[in-house]
Structure 1
Amino acid sequence: MREGDALTGSSESYDVVIVGGAIVGSSVAYALKAELGFEGRVAVVERDPTYARSATTLSAASIRQQFSTPENIRLSRASLAMIRNVKAVFGPEADIGFHEGGYLILASPEGLPVLEANHRVQRAESADIALLDPEGLAARFPWISTEGLAGGAFGVTGEGWFDAHSLLGLLRKAAREAGAVYLTGSVAGIDREGGRVVGVRLADGHRLACGALVNAAGPAAGDLAALAGVALPVEPRKRCVFVVHCRERLGPMPLVVDPSGVYVRPEGEFHICGVSPEEDARAAADDFEVDYPLFEEVVWPALATRVPAFEACKLIRAWAGHYDYNTLDQNAVIGAHPEVGNLYFANGFSGHGLQQAPAAGRALAELLTAGRFVSLDLSIFGYERIAAGRPVRELNVI
């Protein structure tokens, strides 16, 4: 069966079925087949092989180490190794346009203690983050207004942005070449026998028997888990990305995050910008309408205040996408269900899934094949905390 074919015919059996073929699902498939040499049959089920509305391809495609949770820093640092070395990993023609421009996270006087505490965690993890006072900010970034700022944290190395489409394409191609099968279909049901998942039923009536099921369904992960009778607090959050042109040349610019939550970074001759959605702003799965008043009323005023040159910027275009928001603690859920032992999660990254997918995929593949985490201990992100309602708070959610 060719990738993109609709699923028809009799039931098939796979050792691992991965639901969701975007960056997380493809990272799991790649790690299983290409990195670990798993000999079992692996199927990746994706409902939209164009990825036109994927959270992966509609994201701002950035990577950072500025987190408050050590395991998040380790995930991003491990993924950075692949992002920096795509030619060595995927071949000399591979290119994802990685620009190591850094993040600059700004803090008000009220937010400075949190920024400083986060910086201590980051430095303990060997992240190359510089803590700057207002004078240091003004000297390094003369285009910025330091009014109302008490400081900022700048990722000197190991942070930046890249082409999400290209990275996804490389992972998918390598996973397929190593033996993973990509199938087009929508999951309509999950069959359980006691404490095990035994099969996945698709909307066209086709059934895939499975030895293990991986939930990598992105913003739809909560709905997919419910089909197995499992509660997973992951739901869509809409994020609008605006492309603007600034008349004034600003010189080198990192991805800047204002204390208001508004962010901006260069994108070729333009800049992209936006703001984190409200915590309770659940989006409909089919809502891809751009919220243009958000730009006029929230994003642009904050940009013009922080970077005065943006007072004269022009809106070029915009798009809307979703990310998989974990309502418990805005952290990923990675690992097996404690009672349905062959149901695995790679969900709820809450805006940082793209940058952490290569390392998270490897970790989950190790769990599937070795029965334990090998490269990174990610047990802090296990489902057990979900069942207990015990959040692991990440303070740097962007």
Structure 2
Amino acid sequence: MASQVVIVGGGVIGSAVAYFLRASDPNVQVTVIERDPTYARSSSALSAASIRQQFSTPLSVRMSLYGIDFLRTIGERLEVNGERPSIDLHEGGYLFLATSRGEATLRENHSMQRDLGADITLLDAAGLRTRFPWLNTDDLAAGAFGESGEGWFDGYGLVQALRRKAASLGARYVAAEVVGMEHEGRRVTRVRASNGEAYACDVVVSAAGAWSRSIASMLGIDIPVHARRRSIFNVSSPAKLDGCPLLIDPTGVYFRPEGRTYICGTSPAADNDPDDLPLDEVDHALFDDVIWPTLAHRVPQFEALRVEHAWSGYYEYNVLDQNAIIGAHPDIDNCIFGSGFSGHGLQHGPATGRGIGELVLHGRYTTLDLSPLGWARVIEERPIVEKNVV
């Protein structure tokens, strides 16, 4: 069993792993190396911070079912010195919309989600008009709405709560950048950092998010996880949208309430989505050309809106199949990866932290089997097809 674990990256995945390790076995020494303790450029802090059960693969649904249970009980789970954190979880639901072209897939996904215990209601066009009278349903055939277990929360608050709890349990956080890995044969022995220190390890966990390729390359591993910029826009509008959920248009454009305003976004076209675009820039053309026209079509009241604020963050985008890569690479026995979540790292962070903790402590999964997300399907180029990519 590992006695020294070094975690590269202290965002939601790395801090969740640190928390579960120390909570499960206080004899394990855990060191988390995080290059930016302010999390100013962290995907965990810059995302739209939401959780859904509406995936098309059963494993993703199960991970989110555990995730919502964790978020609902975060106060008692992550209490430190009598202080219970709050992440302002709002279970406002997701609303996935479908035209006639996508209706069969929506119904198929809904059946599977319900079978697993997700609280999702399927609505036809008439049902959508009744439930959401502000919605333009002229081109819609159906929608799937999360009655509970879906919504949004304070992602930065979740990361801070996990970090604080992990530290209170004895995890050590080091503000530095990993600059190298020392290994003998098939095992990493030490992790070198920019502070001049080298940290001995029995196991190293790579939770480096959008920077995962750099860490993997230190071990001669090519991981198909790229830093893809996503811009988020905060808009104000006189629109009064009672019961507004997080809405996913058939085009992929999304929006949700944010206090008295709304946040919205979408992914750029595949042929206009290069790696490593600067985070201090925002894709305003995407808003003008795609997002705003789509919003105005779907919600006529959004004809009048104004951008109040905008920012960009990175997706740690798995170019193979937009699903996470969790587990050890077959060439290195003691390096466990937790990377490539492609936009759902916050909601799957608790299940991933628990699962990687089990791998470290027991050499196998003891609760939810995450092995389908391992390296085998990456090496063999067998993508997991997720139909609800957002």
TM-score bucket (shorter structure): over 0.9
Asked if structure 2 preserves the Cα contact closer than 8 Å seen for 1:238 and 1:277, the reply is no
Counterpart amino acid of 1:205? G
- Pairing partner for 2:309 from 297, 313, 317: 317
5+ long unaligned stretches in structure 1: 1-12
Asked if structure 2 preserves the Cα contact closer than 8 Å seen for 1:187 and 1:202, the reply is yes
Kindly state the Cα deviation for residue 88 of structure 1 after the two structures are TM-superposed: 2.1
Counterpart amino acid of 1:382? G
**1:201-350, aligned counterparts within 5 Å?**
201-279=192-270, 281-284=273-276, 286-350=278-342
- Pairing partner for 1:108 from 87, 90, 99: 99
Residue of structure 2 equivalent to 1:373: 365
Q: Which deviates further from its counterpart, 16-25 or 182-191? A: 182-191
Q: SS at 2:46's partner residue?
A: coil
Counterpart amino acid of 2:380? A
Kindly state the Cα deviation for residue 286 of structure 1 after the two structures are TM-superposed: 4.0
Residue of structure 1 equivalent to 2:55: 67
Count residues with an aligned counterpart: 385
- Pairing partner for 2:22 from 10, 18, 33: 33
Kindly state the Cα deviation for residue 283 of structure 1 after the two structures are TM-superposed: 2.7
Kindly state the Cα deviation for residue 288 of structure 1 after the two structures are TM-superposed: 3.2
Asked if structure 1 preserves the Cα contact closer than 8 Å seen for 2:98 and 2:140, the reply is yes
Percent identity between the two aligned chains:
49
Q: SS at 1:79's partner residue?
A: helix
Q: SS at 1:339's partner residue?
A: coil
Kindly state the Cα deviation for residue 285 of structure 1 after the two structures are TM-superposed: 6.0
Asked if structure 1 preserves the Cα contact closer than 8 Å seen for 2:26 and 2:169, the reply is no
Residue of structure 1 equivalent to 2:187: 196
Counterpart amino acid of 2:337? F
Counterpart amino acid of 2:78? F
Kindly state the Cα deviation for residue 47 of structure 1 after the two structures are TM-superposed: 0.6
The CA distance in 1 between the partners of 2:241 and 2:327, in whole Å, is: 44
Residue of structure 1 equivalent to 2:41: 53
**1:71-82, aligned counterparts within 5 Å?**
71-82=59-70
Note the aligned Cα RMSD (angstroms). Answer: 1.4
Counterpart amino acid of 1:106? L
Pair 1:163-2:154 in alignment: yes
Pair 1:362-2:367 in alignment: no
Kindly state the Cα deviation for residue 338 of structure 1 after the two structures are TM-superposed: 2.0
5+ long unaligned stretches in structure 2: none
After superposition, the Cα gap between the structure-2 partners of 1:278 and 1:212, relative to the gap in structure 1 and judged at 3 Å, is: farther
Kindly state the Cα deviation for residue 264 of structure 1 after the two structures are TM-superposed: 0.4
Counterpart amino acid of 1:359? A
Query: Per-residue displacement from partner, 1:310-352 (whole Å, max 9, x unpaired)?
Result: 1001111100000111111111111112231101011111100
Asked if structure 1 preserves the Cα contact closer than 8 Å seen for 2:58 and 2:113, the reply is yes
Q: Which deviates further from its counterpart, 333-342 or 275-284? A: 275-284
- Pairing partner for 2:5 from 6, 10, 16: 16
Counterpart amino acid of 1:364? I
The CA distance in 1 between the partners of 2:189 and 2:16, in whole Å, is: 23
The CA distance in 2 between the partners of 1:164 and 1:230, in whole Å, is: 30
Kindly state the Cα deviation for residue 278 of structure 1 after the two structures are TM-superposed: 3.3
Counterpart amino acid of 1:290? V
Structure 1 ranges of 4+ moved more than 3 A: 277-280, 285-288
The CA distance in 1 between the partners of 2:201 and 2:217, in whole Å, is: 18
Q: SS at 1:310's partner residue?
A: helix
Asked if structure 1 preserves the Cα contact closer than 8 Å seen for 2:325 and 2:341, the reply is yes
After superposition, the Cα gap between the structure-2 partners of 1:164 and 1:243, relative to the gap in structure 1 and judged at 3 Å, is: same
The CA distance in 1 between the partners of 2:171 and 2:277, in whole Å, is: 28
Asked if structure 1 preserves the Cα contact closer than 8 Å seen for 2:95 and 2:248, the reply is yes
- Pairing partner for 2:109 from 102, 109, 118: 118
Asked if structure 2 preserves the Cα contact closer than 8 Å seen for 1:14 and 1:209, the reply is no
